[in-house]
A and B are shown apart, each in its own frame.
Chain A
Amino acid sequence: MSALADVGIVFGRVAFAMLFVVNVAAILGWVERKQSAIMQDRIGANRASIFGFRVLGLFHPIADAIKMLTKEDFMPARADRFLFQLAPFVSVFFGLVAFASIPFGDTLRVAGREIPLQAVTLNVGVLYVFAMLSLGVYGVMMAGWSSANNYALLGGQRAAALMISAEIAIGASIMGVVMWYGSLDLMDIVRGQGALLFGWIPKWGIVTQPLAFVIFVTAGIAATKRIPFDMPEGESEIIGYFIEYSGMKFGMFLMSDLVETTVIAGLTTSLFLGGWQVPYLVAEGFLFPWGAALPLPHLLVVLLQVGAFIVKVSAMIFFLMLVRWTLPRFRYDQAMRLGWLGLFPLSILNIVLTGLVLLLWGGRA
């Protein structure tokens, strides 16, 4: 019975992380349309209906899925058959598994068990997410190469160059956060952000590492290959690495971009926005800096924390999409210059500054 419960708990942890990413990514297609419609003073997609019910166009993701699943699955005659089939799976797979070590709540204590609310507990969680994100580029490169199409090949090469320059900046900007909180475990980093600065400011990463936050979010948008960094695919021209793809395989490439957006938002939340932390909420309940206290039961505290995580991730995704509809596309050389000459030196500077601050005031010599 106990072993069964253990298996069930592990299953539940993994299922929450996976279903969260898949469902958020599925609904993002709708969010994106509606958000752009509101920003551009349009109504947006609202035609799909079931028995006359439209529900703000929420049926459009379902209609899209049915359309893509029933479309012809075309393959170019000279394509590398195996790699062409494999590429979309590789692309979406690494995005989906990257979420595994992002914590969505504190340790839950039920019936004498301690359940960390995180699909996988790794003491190198940050590096794991980073590693999975950096492997996602293989799907894009495989797609570009195996299509036997020069435009696709060029798109794949642009994607590879862009992802490398973005990931260097992501990795180097994460380092400042890791130095500050002294751990590579995402759960420890989030716990560290629960402390208070000057007794009233929550020590979130955005407060302690503002420069790293800007670098990370910029490079994160580049890593998702979306506007303003959409030169791998050229969204308005659709001449990119997936030019030869159709049907659900094309849909999987679209989905992997949205999954990566979710992962970047989840990682930004965990590293810079306090993860599942609610300001002034400790394990026993609220404890305000002016002395007031509001004790809460353990289960409610955990629920509030999971809710805070979901709200923060949603807000971050909303912001990332806001950027997508606000900025025009960078030219290829501008994006490269931004990555290598802007973000990368800045993140090195951030590491040096963080080291100096820790040495002078942190007492961690």
Chain B
Amino acid sequence: MTAYVAFFVLAALAVGSALGLVLRRNPIHGALFLVANLGSVAALYLTLGAEFLAAAQVIVYAGAIMVLFVFAIMVLIPGKEETGPDPRRPVRVLAAPLGVLLFLLLAFVVARGTGAPAGAAAPGPTTIGALGRLLFARYLFPFELTSVLLLAAMIGVLLLARKKAS
């Protein structure tokens, strides 16, 4: 019973903050709504017993990436007066059909995938040891691939920053 209440409260928070992100004109407000959204999704993970995933979500997304986002917005758009009409208004026409498509896809996935996905670990609190073993043994290749991707992004940023300085 309490699990249901928690789920609906958290889901309402997540959907509400996502709507806030899309609907607010002010970029800082939007970014802060996204932080609230990430936090409520992390709390949803927590109710599923995925404590590590919840902590990682908060640390990486809310605590690091979004801080940089808010920082960048604060540097670039300090005042409210900068929020004019959207320069890419025509692209908005595409938003509705794409949104409907995404919704249908998600609905299809949710409708099909009843119960645990094949090959997944039994539900319950996952230990970090098990998670680490999976990451560094079974899924080592995708894991290393991700690190190459991150390294490429880092080198790219260094290159861009250097060009500007010269």
Contact = CB atoms under 8 A, between A and B. Distances in A.
Contact of A171 (B35, B39, B59, B74): B59
A202 interface: no
A123 B125 contact: yes
Given A123-B125, A138-B35, A145-B28, A160 B70 contact: yes
A122 interface: yes
Contacts of A122: 51
A160 B28 CA distance: 14
Given A130-B59, A135-B58, A157 B35 contact: no
Nearest to A130: B59
B64 to A, nearest CB: 7
Given A131-B59, A135-B58, A157-B74, A123 B67 contact: no
Nearest to A184: B128
Contact of B59 (A134, A141, A144, A156): A134
Contacts of B78: 145, 150, 153
A127 interface: yes
A123 B128 contact: yes
A267 interface: no
A161 B28 CA distance: 17
A138 B64 contact: no
Nearest to A141: B70
* B: interface residue count bin: 20 to 34
B48 interface: no
Contacts of B29: 83
Contacts of A156: 74
A164 B67 contact: yes
Interface residues of A, number: 29
Interface string B56-81: 10110011100110110011001110
Contact of A124 (B28, B51, B63): B51
A235 B91 CA distance: 48
B128 A141 contact: no
Contacts of B39: 135
Contacts of B127: 123
A195 B51 CA distance: 28
Nearest to B62: A135
Contacts of A344: none
B165 to A, nearest CB: 16
The residue in A80, A141, A167 that gathers the most chain B C-beta atoms within 10 A of its C-beta is A141
Nearest to A182: B129
B63 A161 contact: no
B74 A145 contact: yes
Contacts of B35: 138
A204 interface: no
A130 B71 CA distance: 20
A134 B63 contact: yes
Contacts of A164: 64, 67-68, 71
A142 interface: yes
Interface string B71-103: 100110011100000000000000000000000
A138 B39 CA distance: 13
A144 B73 CA distance: 13
A184 B29 CA distance: 34
25 contacts: A80-B28, A83-B32, A123-B52, A123-B127, A124-B52, A127-B59, A128-B55, A131-B55, A135-B39, A135-B63, A137-B67, A138-B32, A138-B67, A138-B70, A141-B70, A145-B28, A148-B79, A150-B78, A153-B74, A157-B71, A161-B71, A163-B67, A164-B64, A164-B68, A164-B71
Given A153-B78, A160-B74, 12 more contacts: A83-B28, A83-B29, A83-B32, A123-B128, A124-B55, A127-B52, A127-B59, A137-B67, A138-B67, A150-B78, A157-B71, A164-B64
Interface of B: 28-29, 32, 35, 39, 51-52, 54-56, 58-59, 62-64, 67-68, 70-71, 74-75, 78-80, 125, 127-128
Question: What 10 A-B pairs come out closest when comparing CB atoms?
Answer: A134-B63, A127-B55, A131-B58, A124-B55, A124-B51, A131-B59, A160-B71, A124-B52, A131-B55, A145-B74
Interface of A: 80, 83, 122-124, 127-128, 130-131, 134-135, 137-138, 141-142, 144-145, 148, 150, 153, 156-157, 160-161, 163-164, 167, 171, 184
